[in-house]
Every structure is written in structure tokens, then in C-alpha cells.
Amino acid sequence: MKDLLDDRDAWSMANCSIDRTLAIAGNRTAMLIMREAFFGTRRFDDFAKRVGIGEPAAAARLKELTAAGLLERTPYKEPGQRTRYAYQLTEKGRDFLPIITALRQWGDTWAADERGPAVVVRHKDCGAPVHAVLRCEDGHDVPLRESVIDAGPGLIRVGPDTP
């Protein structure tokens, strides 16, 4: 059986899930807004302040993340004030947690300063630190050396040997 990677030039990445994910949330500002959403930030002004960006950039990123379905706007009104909108994670947005966790974990190991990471996420029940782990559907932890790349149903084959 021929290994998929042996024939790498015969497949296209036009349907790449990584590329499509980066198109949705692949810039620094979007990732930091998602971090803040997981930390519980809900209001526009708080996103702008905590991410350290201007209101136009915050508005653009929040609009993009809302259009992509990771956040949703919900109206709220304080007494005597006009209606405003808060942002909350959708189910699709909550499914982004492993990505944020993996980025934080890598940064804790390779990018934190000598004092260590700014925050540690812990399991509420036992207090142990939370980590992203690669695990197969049968529940086995999978180190990189034990993973293989296989054709998925959306693989687009190109070139002279295309069936």
C-alpha cells in the first residue's frame, strides 16, 4: 500500500481545514479576542481594552468572529442607557477551546519569560493543570511518532495520476 505522503505532489490543499480555520480566526487580534471570551469577557469596551486594540479593530474582529459563528451578540440594557450588545461563545466557539489551550500550553513552554506563564488553567474538581492532548477516538494518547496521515473524504487529487 502506497503511503499518502509518498505521493504528496498528487494532492491539493484547496480543501485544507487548517487554512480555513486560519481564515476565520488566524490573526493575532482574533485569537486574543477568543482568549478573552474564554476568560469571560463579554462587553465590547472590555475586549478592546484587554486585547489592547482600538475600537475600530475590535469592532472588525468581533464582527468577523460573530459572522463565522464563534461568538453571538446578545442585547442588554443598563437602567437609563441605550441597548448595547454583549458577546458570548456559541457551541462552535466553545469547540475552539482546545486550540486556545494548545497555544497557551506551547507558549507556557516556549515563549513565557523567566517568571513563567501569566495564568495557569486548572481542573475545577481536582486542581491539576489543564493541557491539550492528542487522543484517538478509542481513547489512546497519541504521540506524533505514532500518528499517520491518511486521505480524508475531502482530499482533492491533482496531477497526471488523478483517478
Residue 1 lies inside a defined structural domain of this protein: no
Same domain, 39 and 65: yes
Same domain, 86 and 101: no
Sorted by sequence, the CB contacts under 8 Å of residue 46 that are 6+ apart come out as 36
Listed residues 31, 61, 91: the one ending a domain? 91
- Residue 67's domain is classified under what CATH number? 1.10.10.10
Tell me the CA distances in angstroms from 57 to 5, 26, 54, one per residue in order.
40, 15, 6
Residue 7 lies inside a defined structural domain of this protein: no
d(CA 74, CA 117): 33
d(CA 120, CA 88): 22
pLDDT tens series, the chain, 163 aa? 567 777 888 888 899 999 999 999 999 999 999 999 999 999 999 999 999 999 999 999 999 999 999 999 999 999 999 999 999 999 999 999 999 999 999 999 999 999 999 999 999 999 999 999 999 999 999 999 999 988 899 999 887 655 5
What is the residue range of 114's domain? Answer: 96-163
pTM, two decimals, is: 0.88
Q: Count up the domains in the chain and report the number.
A: 2
